[in-house]
Structure 1
Amino acid sequence: MAQAEHQSSQNALLTLKIWHPDCWTLEVTEAVSANLLAHTVYNAADGRVKGHFTAYGDSTEELDRLVEEATNSRLTHSVAEMQHRYGFEHPHVASGSVTRELLVEYDPNDTVSDALASYGFIQEGPVQIRDGTEYWSVFVDNDDRGQLHERLEAVREMRDAEVSVTKITSHSTSSSNVLSRVENLSKRQREIFELACEHDYYAWPRGITTRELADEADISKTTLLEHLRKAEAKLLDPAINEFTQSL
């Protein structure tokens, strides 16, 4: 057990620049000057999904145009505006930008997500979409880096996509670091975080909504999000990914 706790692994963190056909986010951001951040995806009816997106730009007029383009797109089923999530921050959005939270229903077959996941590219954070191009931060096991070219080529062929690597960095993780971070959580933060992991709250697509998770924990949605926000701030994304896999 002690040996396993101190076992470390090396991952490569890649930034991928992607274009592919039949994607509403690419078509919309190419048509307007506003941009998008893609966050969480939920299952919806008839094989579709609902994605949470942050639209941002320099003015409300730009966002109005983006929402109009998204609503009129042949590739979307519905577009709804959401209230800003409590405690939600956008580190990729420039200071001073006007933002708007959107819930968009669309066909998951029109995305590149499954293709990336199929070939071992694990999403690290929100996807940035601007000027008709997607920018993904993904992890890949360093043991497989020798096959990186073949795996990227497979993604290209699967989605008729243009994919280029703009940055590669090494990322070290160790289970001992994860365990020490978890120990920094309060008892209640850990209970809520573990409950979220058990119900696939951090999965893609998300296995439970925030409201359903709050009901499961028998607390308000606001209190749930506050516990998760504090827990996530202590754990950070690499720890969340590894700890979730260990449950």
Structure 2
Amino acid sequence: MIAECLVAEFRIDGDDCPLARATDAVPVAVDANAPQLRADGNVLLHFSAPADDRLPEALDDDDAIRYLHVTRGDDTYTFRCLSKHSCVVHELVDAGFLVESMRYDDGGATMRGAVVGYDVLRGVMETAGGTVGIQLQRVYPLRADEESPIGRAWDLTPAQEAALRAAVEMGYFDLPRSITARDVADELGISKSAFLERLRRAQQSVFGALLE
């Protein structure tokens, strides 16, 4: 039995997949679920990004994208589509990487997930390094409380869950409100705009699941 599970975060550049190409052309950050590889080699994608009409236009112009569907909200667009281009994440999964979150920006991707032991981690690094540029940004042992049932239940990224937890615990949703968005952002060590974006995305996931 392997006693140690590791949380790893990679930055990947050079993966010529549609989301990387789109964020290279349009200055937005795309939060994506793990892509689903079909038996025919095509990939099902589900992702979201700040509202910007240039992104769906860039994706629609990409020959690798088919059946693009966009749900437009006031602040966020949610996308579902099929891609004819498999990305490097499938090779990482084959090597033992358990994907938890993916963010595309500036033509690259930051991927966070788990690997079972350092031998698997080395295998994942070697697999990615053979095709794209990869940097290991963080790695640490998975704690007993790392896998939050809240995040799993409501499809939140770790950053979104942290923002939502901090907002609740600090009284951001109290009536009357006792603290400001700047107070919560300072506690998290991020900018006010980054906190509000994460909070809106977390609320969208939770409310969307409740109202669906």
Alignment partner, residue 168 of structure 2: none
Counterpart amino acid of 1:81? V
Measured against aligned partners, the alpha-carbon deviations of 1:92-133 in whole angstroms (never above 9, x if no partner) come to: xxxxx92111112102x52112211111111123x1111111
TM-score by length of 1: 0.53
User: 2:82 aligned with 1:105, yes or no?
Assistant: yes
- Which structure 1 residue ranges, 4+ long, deviate > 6 Å from structure 2? none
Alignment partner, residue 97 of structure 2: 121
User: 2:128 aligned with 1:134, yes or no?
Assistant: no
Higher helix share: 1
1:163 Cα deviation from its structure 2 partner? 1.0
Q: Distance in 1 between matches of 2:31 and 2:15?
A: 19
The one of the two structures with greater contact order (alpha-carbon pairs below 8 A, sep at least 6) is 1
Q: Distance in 2 between matches of 1:227 and 1:65?
A: 28
Alignment partner, residue 52 of structure 1: 46
Three-state SS of the structure 1 residue aligned to 2:16 is coil
CA gap 1:100/1:45 in 2 versus in 1, 3 angstroms: farther
TM-score by length of 2: 0.61
- Which of 81, 97, 105 pairs up with 2:70? 81
Alignment partner, residue 153 of structure 1: 126
Structure 1 vs Structure 2 CA RMSD: 3.7
Question: Rg larger in 1 or in 2?
Answer: 1
Unpaired segments of 5 or more residues in structure 1? Answer: 1-6, 85-96, 183-192, 194-224, 229-247
Q: Does the CA-based 8 Å contact 1:53-1:104 persist in structure 2?
A: no
Q: Distance in 1 between matches of 2:53 and 2:82?
A: 18
Alignment partner, residue 5 of structure 2: 11
1:17 Cα deviation from its structure 2 partner? 0.3
1:146 Cα deviation from its structure 2 partner? 4.4
1:32 Cα deviation from its structure 2 partner? 0.9
Three-state SS of the structure 2 residue aligned to 1:110 is coil
Residues 1-247 of structure 1: pairs in structure 2 closer than 5 A: 9-39=3-33, 41-42=35-36, 47-56=41-50, 60=51, 63-82=52-71, 98-107=75-84, 109-125=85-101, 127-142=102-117, 145-146=118-119, 148-157=121-130, 160-173=131-144, 225-226=209-210
Q: Distance in 2 between matches of 1:172 and 1:146?
A: 19
Identity across matched positions, percent: 19
